[in-house]
Homo-oligomer: A and B are copies of this chain.
């Protein structure tokens, strides 16, 4: 059957295939932390027209069912369908751009010219069985065979020996030894299996985001992404951003317990995703024997149980930036305990492995053109450079684009206002809300829209102050002036954007832009030098670039220089899982990147103050905005 989405995407279903499976195959990834068993109720879609079969789910309210909502994982098309996939059902990350269309990743990997050379490798060995006259121990027998195979120097872990006696005999002395290459020390043997068991090999790439955890199950033979799973990082219960989580850990009577609670939360999330994908593909945990992780510096520390406290305190020192390859058993991950885990190297306390992964995924470090990578998430990290140089900084943009510190702010989930238009004459707003439900708040893209529209209409002056007297929607509230976006019957639940919110948002956009110009200045360039702009991060997928430029958040460059890259953290982790060359390249990127501590930079403070204006005190940096403002006056 053909399925047409309200977003104009097209999907074809195989007979009997669930909508969930069909959408996933087409690169439209749905949130489904239960792995498609119908129990989590997160993969809601709305059938606008067409017939379908499926069990009505108790996870849906009567009202939802009346409106045609179904769980995609429990529903099969009986005719062609016209389908709406609400934003809150989509993975927050990268479902709109080529790089994160997982079907294309193996092809993308090939464009690097890197051979598939996963974290783990195998050697087949055939040992002569022992006799009374050749009665050396199993270990000595294995070592003898390794010497003959040219692997005499390999280290043997307890994991190899723990099951060796049984495996050698069950496999009739024809075995496969899995080992991990080590750049610094001798290679280490990890475990022994029969040659049959060694045939199917999988790895996982995991993006440990502050908000979302995404996992790719990858065949190590050909790099195919076998499955994708995603869930929210349940550390959210301890705080929305890295700082509140670090504070949470520090405030426990014993900081180790706080770190352990955070670690345990995210490990449980990854294990839940693993449960889902291993069940779907009937894969034994043990056959997943390579892992890569990418996350910001705090997430990388917490996942390994390292106390992130010092990241938060001047002079902002992480425990480590380059993580040794440790074992999955240390993390209690539900994969082979001996599986090596490669953690994307970090650059500094606020520029982590997710950014290094982003640079790797963007290839900016390999190109002569100078590129700007902006990861617009909770913190706002930027990297600028090319094949010769790379600079990076964290902008401390703060979590306001994710709803924190904004009176009616929320994340981009059901009920969030995601876009706003304000009528130029009546000043009345038209809003669109995620999930076709009543609006309950406003998310990042809605805030950017709202501020751009207010500015466009003259309801906000270049200093970011709301202008009184033009419309009754600008009124005095508890915290001073506010713009009324949505009126509620009892006024108690009015959705407003306050002067205070606007100032928060302007500080965030100013930090991002000032970060870019400061970094450029440090490198001796101006905005014009930037030939490519890569926008990464979950938020970035829904950002209205035109409006963001209009605010002065993104540089005013020709629009064809901008690309959405979606979740570059998972893309980088995927690349590192498969190619030794790219793992080395990630480490070279981290080592090459010059980190600029903006909090200590006078230039940044000056740039920041200039960028607090709309769009900027120096309008010459924003020629297209100047034109648009000119048109407005005309």
A residues sitting closer than 8 Å to B (CB atoms) are: 130-132, 134-141, 155-156, 158, 161-166, 169, 185-186, 255-256, 304-310, 314-322, 324, 326, 330, 348, 597, 600
Contact = CB atoms under 8 A, between A and B. Distances in A.
A321 B140 contact: yes
| A255, A317, A321, A324 — most chain B CB neighbours (10 Å) | A317
A138 B140 CA distance: 40
Given A165-B306, A185-B185, A307-B165, A320 B137 contact: yes
A427 to B, nearest CB: 47
24 contacts: A131-B315, A132-B600, A135-B316, A135-B317, A135-B348, A136-B317, A138-B317, A138-B318, A139-B320, A155-B185, A156-B324, A158-B324, A158-B326, A158-B330, A161-B306, A161-B319, A163-B256, A163-B307, A165-B308, A165-B310, A165-B317, A166-B256, A166-B307, A185-B185
Contacts of A324: 156, 158, 161
Given A137-B320, A186-B185, A315 B132 contact: yes
Contacts of A316: 132, 135
A321 B139 contact: yes
A107 B616 CA distance: 82
Contacts of A256: 163, 166
Contacts of A169: 310
A324 B306 CA distance: 28
A525 B256 CA distance: 64
Contacts of A597: 132, 135
Nearest to A166: B307
Given A130-B317, A132-B314, A185-B185, 4 more contacts: A135-B315, A135-B317, A158-B324, A165-B310
Contacts of A326: 158
Given A158-B330, A185-B186, A326-B158, A139 B319 contact: yes
Contacts of A130: 315, 317
A417 to B, nearest CB: 41
A131 B140 CA distance: 51
A178 B131 CA distance: 43
A139 B343 CA distance: 15
A130 B310 CA distance: 11
Nearest to A131: B315
B321 A162 contact: no
Contacts of A600: 132
Contacts of A348: 135
A319 B192 CA distance: 13
Given A132-B600, A158-B326, A137 B186 contact: no
B166 A304 contact: no
A150 to B, nearest CB: 18
Contacts of A318: 137-138
B135 A309 contact: no
A138 B186 contact: no
A17 to B, nearest CB: 38
Contact of A320 (B155, B161, B185, B314): B161
Contacts of A306: 161-162, 164-165
A309 B138 CA distance: 12
A261 to B, nearest CB: 15
A137 B330 contact: no
| A134, A137, A306, A316 — most chain B CB neighbours (10 Å) | A137
A412 B185 CA distance: 52
A558 B140 CA distance: 42
| A162, A163, A165 — most chain B CB neighbours (10 Å) | A165
Given A132-B600, A161-B306, A597-B132, A319 B137 contact: yes
Contacts of A155: 185
Contacts of A322: 137, 139
A628 to B, nearest CB: 41
A320 B143 CA distance: 11
A306 B309 CA distance: 40
Nearest to A158: B326
Contacts of A185: 155, 185-186
A138 B163 CA distance: 37
A319 B132 CA distance: 15
A329 to B, nearest CB: 10
Nearest to A184: B155
A348 B140 CA distance: 12
Contacts of A163: 256, 307
Contacts of A186: 185
Given A156-B324, A185-B185, A164 B319 contact: yes
A141 B138 CA distance: 42
A317 B310 CA distance: 52
Nearest to A599: B132
Nearest to A331: B158
| A256, A306, A600 — most chain B CB neighbours (10 Å) | A306
A163 to B, nearest CB: 8
Contacts of A255: 166
A48 to B, nearest CB: 52
A166 to B, nearest CB: 5
Contacts of A162: 304-306
Nearest to A314: B132
A31 B134 CA distance: 43
A508 B309 CA distance: 66
A62 to B, nearest CB: 49
A59 B163 CA distance: 43
B156 A309 contact: no
A507 B88 CA distance: 80
A140 to B, nearest CB: 7
Nearest to A188: B185
